[in-house]
Amino acid sequence: MLTFDKLVSMFHQRLDQLPDHRKGGNNTTYDLKDAALGALAVFFTQSPSFLAYQKKMEDTKGRSNASTLFGIERTPSTPQIRNLLDPVPPEELYPVFRSILAALEKNETLAQFRTFNDSLLVSLDGTQYFSSQKIHCDQCSQQRLNNGETLYSHKVVSAVVVNPNLPHVLPLEPEFIRPQDGYDKQDCEIAAAKRWLKRCGPHYAAYKMTLLGDDLYAHQPLCHLVLKAKLNFIFVCKPDSHQTLYDWLDYLQAKPDEQLPTLTRRHWNGQFAEIWTYRYINQVPLRAGQDALEVNWSELTITREDTGQQLYLNSWVTNYQIDDDNVVAIAQAGRSRWKTENEGNNILKNRGYHLEHNFGHGQQHLSATLLILNLLAFFFHTSLHLIDTRYQRLREHLGARQTFFNDIRTLTRYLCFDNWNHLLNFMIEQLELDIPPAPT
Q: What is the predicted pLDDT for the residue at 360?
A: 84
How open is the CA angle 88-91-92, to the nearest 5 degrees?
60
Where in the chain are all domains bearing CATH 3.90.350.10? 109-349
In 3D, which of 342, 286, 284, 282 has the Cα closest to residue 123? 342
Q: Please, how many CA atoms are within 13 Å of residue 322, restricted to the half-sphere of its CB?
A: 28
Whether the Cβ atoms of residue 171 and residue 379 lie closer than 8 Å to each other:
yes
In 3D, which of 341, 436, 336 has the Cα closest to residue 393? 436
**Of all residues in the chain, what percent carry a pLDDT higher than 90?**
77
CATH of 109-349, one of 1.20.120.1200, 3.40.50.300, 3.90.350.10, 3.40.718.10: 3.90.350.10
Q: What is the predicted pLDDT for the residue at 352?
A: 67
Whether the Cβ atoms of residue 64 and residue 45 lie closer than 8 Å to each other:
no
Residue type, 338: W
Q: What is the predicted pLDDT for the residue at 111?
A: 96
Task: Give just the sign of the alpha carbon dihedral 70, 74, 78, 82.
Answer: negative
Question: 3-state class of 278 per DSSP?
Answer: strand
Which residue ranges in the chain fall short of pLDDT 50? Answer: none
Q: Please, how many CA atoms are within 13 Å of residue 40, restricted to the half-sphere of its CB?
A: 28
Whether the Cβ atoms of residue 195 and residue 175 lie closer than 8 Å to each other:
yes
In 3D, which of 316, 300, 8, 367 has the Cα closest to residue 152? 367
Q: What is the predicted pLDDT for the residue at 27?
A: 61
Whether the Cβ atoms of residue 227 and residue 201 lie closer than 8 Å to each other:
no
Q: Among the residues of 156-297, which ranges form H helices?
A: 189-204, 220-228, 243-254
